[in-house]
Each structure stands twice: as C-alpha cells, then as structure tokens.
Structure 1
Amino acid sequence: MRTQAERLLEQATAELAAGGVSSPRHDAEVLLSHVTGVPRMMLIGSAKPHGMQVQQFNDLVAARASRVPLQHLTGSTGFRYVEVEVGPGVFVPRPETELLAGWAIDHAKTLDSPVVVELCAGAGAISLSVVHEVPTAQVHAVELDESAFEWAQRNLVGTGVDLRLGDMADAFGDLDGQVDIVVANPPYIPLDAWESVAPEARDHDPALALWSGDDGLDAMRVIDQVAWRLLKAGGVVGAEHADAQGESAPAVFAARWADVRDHDDLAGRPRFVTARKPRR
C-alpha cells in the first residue's frame, strides 16, 4: 500500500510537470521535505504530514507550478558549502556560478592574505563562499539594487565582508591597485532575448540582474574597466557570461589583458572568462 507521502509526491509531480517545471519529482520532494522537516531520502518511509502541512505543501506546489522559483518557496539555496538566503528581490544563485566561485577560491588559496572584490554581488553567494573557504581573505562586495543589497546584508552579516551599496563603475576607489582577485556574475542577457528566458528568471529575478544591453555585454565592459583599475599587476579577473558569449565575452578583455581564457561549465558550455593584468 502506498504511503501518504508517496501519494502526495505523485500528485505533486504530475501537477508540476503539467506546469512545465523541468524537474517535477525533485521539486516535489524538496517542497515536502521543507514542509515536514524530513530529509528527502527519508520521505517515503518517514514523512507523515498532518493536515496543516498537507495544505501548506499543496499551496507551495501550486505556486511552483505557476513557475515561482523553488528557492523563493523554501527561502534558501545551497551554494558550494554554504546556504544562501534568497527570495523576491534578489537573483537566485545558479549551480553554474559555483565553478566561477571555485576558480576565485582556488586562486585565493595560493596567496597569503588575498584581497578579493565581488562585483554585482546579488545575494552575496560568491563572497560568502570565499570567506567560508579562505578565512585569510579580505573580501569586499558591491551591489546596486537596494532589495538585493538587503539580501546580501542578511547573508554576509558577521562574516567580515565589506559590503557596499552602489554602482560597480565607481566602487572601491580606496582599493585602486590593491586587489588580487575581482570576480563577478553580472547581468548578461541581451534585451531582445526576453522570450528565451525561463519564467522563473524573467518574471521573478530583478531586471538589473538579467539584462545588459543589445548584445548582453554592457556590464562585462564595465567589469573590464573596473577590474583594470582595482587590480594590482598580476591580479586576476573572472566573470560569468551566457553560453552564447564564449567568444564575445573574452573579446572584451583581448586588447590589454594577459592569459585571457574561457571556461566551460559542467555541461560543456562556455560559462566564464578569466584574465590577468600584465606585470609591468
């Protein structure tokens, strides 16, 4: 005989699939685990949701079927080895960005007291990961959107990260020429790509975190300028881009940077560019 949890999960999976959710069973399990407090792997045998939990679960499933982001419904998302609080008003960190964060962390570990700047910080996931994995790092972050900044404050409180509200274009003038690593997950979607963007992002992520001019590279060009100003000789910059920008994003750095290289994500798609400021 099927358990109550099995029946709920089957019904929810069907509803989410009908709504176009790409991972309906996974999301159903995450939501039931969130409501009951029972780990996903133990739901079938251990979850015994009562009436209020069943109603809460059904409400969350309906919201997810309407393409509200899963992370908005649970209130957080895992990113590398940390948990990041997210919700309406902030871009939800994606797994692909963990690779960019890992690049920055690996480089920081080669330095004694690295100075790291995160541009376009959003919820602060990269900065949080850096201070978690490289305790000797001095980390600074900037975010333009006030709502996103509030989420970053929540995630970075007590970490020692120097978080500032403002435009990355003129941020951290006090750090010019003193930074070892600049890292950013900027907006990079072209303005004419509206229809191709998933509803979870298009309808719920802040516009400032998505759109970046006609070719999607307006923010990347600003990163080029800001990173050049901030980095010491030999310092490095890394920035995420769309998978269609595997050539155009590195081209932004081609004129004056050394060791310009593009990196694939785990699916083999172009995902982020890195470069080094030449030593004089």
Structure 2
Amino acid sequence: MTTRSSLRVEILTATAALAAAGVGSPQVDAELLAAHLLGVPRTRLGLVPLVDDGWVTRYRELVAGRERRVPLQHLTGVAVLGPVEVEVGPGVFVPRPETESLVEWAVAAVRGVTTPVVVDLCTGSGAIALAVAAARPDARVHAVERSPHALSWARRNVERHRAAGGSPVDLRGGDIADPRLLVDLEGQVDLVTANPPYVPEGTAVEPEVGVHDPAEAVFAGPDGLDVIRPLLSVAAALLRPGGVLAVEHDDTQGESVPALLRSRRVLADVEDHRDLSGRPRFTTARRVRLRDR
C-alpha cells in the first residue's frame, strides 16, 4: 500500500542535511530540488502538501547528491541566466547568478543599435550568448569555445534555443587566440562579452567548483589573468569604433583588470562594475572613435 508523506517535512529534513554538509543555501536548494522533481515552480510548492513513497525515494537520492556537493545544476540538468535556461553537466562551467549583471549591462549597452553584431568569447554553455540573443532577437550573435566538451553543451543549447523559436546563434569551435577564427568579424562588432577563466591558481574554491567545474574554465595562471590578457587584444580587433566590451573577472581583480583595459590606447571609458552581492565582477570599455583621439 502506498503511503503519503508531508512535503514540508521532507524539505525541512533535506534543509538540515544540506546545512550540515556545508551547502551555502540549504533551504533554497532543498526547495529547488523538490520543485524540479515535482515539475512545478518553487513558488508553487505550498500547493503540494503530500508526496508518495516513490517520490520521497527519488528526492532523497537527489539530496544525497547535493550533500556530496554535486552542483545543484548537475542534479537538475539546467542552469538559469537571465531570460534563458541552458542544459549543463560534467565538462562545462555552470553559469552563476553573478553574471546576470554583465548580461543586463550588455543588453542595455546596445539598446540603441539596430541589428547589433555580438561576439561572446569563452562561451562555455553558451549562456551569455543565448541570453543576449533572447533579449535582442534581431542581433547577429556569435559564440566561441575552445573545449570540445563545453562546445558540445553549447551546441545542444543553441539548437534547443532555435527549436524553441529563438534567433540563430553562430557557434564556432576554436581558440580565441587563433587569428583565423574571427577574421571575418574584425572591426564590425558592436558588443563583445566574455566570462573567461580568471581564478588565480592555488585559490581555495568550493567543491562544486574545484571538483565539478572544468579546471580550464576556472583557473588562469598565478594571477588569474593568463586568458584575459590575450582576450583583450582579440576584443579590440573585433570592435568597431564605438563598440563596447564587457569582461567578467575575479572579485580580487577589481583594480588589475581595469588597469589592463586602460593600458590599451584603443579602449576608453573603462569602468568596473559590481555584481548582485556588491563585489567587483566585470569591467567594461568602449573602442575609441577617430574623433576621440
């Protein structure tokens, strides 16, 4: 005979277990796992008072995975960035909520541009590129990724986005340092975005990052700038005069990354921005016009 259990009690028990395991947002994660398994929004959990034994078994398995610090997004299979949901899993960096600030700035920066040309460097899952494409269906969005594993996730998300009626995104596999990869777009781009690897090697990170995110998508040399330095040259070559750039960085790089951008004579209006938690998170700049010189 099937018995029924209280959903509220299951979530409370899961919250306590996740808190004991060191998960940073135990109640939120417990609720999101329950909502995922029920197929309802988190805000609708109160409308489901009871769950059956089979559901409880599956839920406890998911909670156990989260206790082992498997990323929440690996357990649900998706991550949300602004207006889009992307599939994620082993082999690709999981988009973080902090990046939403960069996306919001980027969309606002090209608000007055008709049919903007956009390039997202180090695209990973494709989340930033797809978020911009969702906000600006008229944009010509290009995305670049070097890792074959991440590229497969990005391809899946681009195809999923298009199947749902979204505008096409041009996905290119290769190293951004390859001069042939983006030569057709040089001097034509209105917006360049990038969430590159930027964590200094040796930095202590949460297990969700250190164990489950690809190291090549997280760490970038002793100061975390090994990818950002060459990326700035690529971005400067892509931007048209007046085009803009937004680069995410570590919260310890609120001075070093803006300094790198200011050292480029072709970039102006360099500004650092804080994320949703108030930490230095991304830097923006504009490609100078001839009249600016």
1:236 aligns with 2:239: no
Counterpart of 2:257, as a letter, is A
When the two chains are superposed, the root-mean-square deviation of aligned CA atoms in Å is 1.4
TM alignment of 1:1-280, pairs within 5 A: 4-157=6-159, 158=162, 159-170=167-178, 171-193=181-203, 196-255=204-263, 256=265, 257-280=267-290
SS of residue in 1 equivalent to 2:69: coil
8 Å CA contact retained: 1:236, 1:275: yes
* 2-structure distance, mates of 1:13, 1:150: 34
Aligned positions, number? 277
* 2-structure distance, mates of 1:61, 1:201: 18
The alignment-based identity, stated in percent, is: 53
1:234 Cα deviation after fit: 1.5
Deviations 1:243-268 (A, max 9, x none): 11000011111121211111111222
Normalised TM-score (structure 2): 0.91
1:39 Cα deviation after fit: 3.1
8 Å CA contact retained: 1:108, 1:137: no
Q: 1:57 to 1:230 in 2, by over 3 A?
A: same
SS of residue in 1 equivalent to 2:143: strand
Runs of 4+ in 1 over 3 A off after TM superposition: none
1:3 Cα deviation after fit: 5.9
Deviations 1:106-159 (A, max 9, x none): 122210111000000011111111111111110000001111111111111124
8 Å CA contact retained: 1:108, 1:134: no
Deviations 1:151-201 (A, max 9, x none): 1111111241100111011231111111111100011001121xx211101
Normalised TM-score (structure 1): 0.95
Q: 1:245 to 1:61 in 2, by over 3 A?
A: same
Q: 1:278 to 1:42 in 2, by over 3 A?
A: closer
Counterpart of 1:52, as a letter, is G
Q: 1:3 to 1:149 in 2, by over 3 A?
A: same
SS of residue in 2 equivalent to 1:238: strand
1:37 Cα deviation after fit: 2.0
* 1-structure distance, mates of 2:49, 2:127: 31
8 Å CA contact retained: 1:36, 1:47: no
SS of residue in 2 equivalent to 1:15: helix
* 2-structure distance, mates of 1:124, 1:78: 12
* 1-structure distance, mates of 2:60, 2:5: 17
8 Å CA contact retained: 2:8, 2:49: no
SS of residue in 1 equivalent to 2:273: strand
Q: Point out where structure 2 has 5 or more consecutive residues left out of the alignment.
A: none
1:47 Cα deviation after fit: 4.5
SS of residue in 1 equivalent to 2:281: strand
Q: 1:226 to 1:4 in 2, by over 3 A?
A: same
Q: Point out where structure 1 has 5 or more consecutive residues left out of the alignment.
A: none
8 Å CA contact retained: 1:113, 1:138: yes
SS of residue in 1 equivalent to 2:56: helix
* 2-structure distance, mates of 1:210, 1:45: 40
Deviations 1:1-39 (A, max 9, x none): x96112211211111111100111111111111112233
Counterpart of 1:268, as a letter, is G
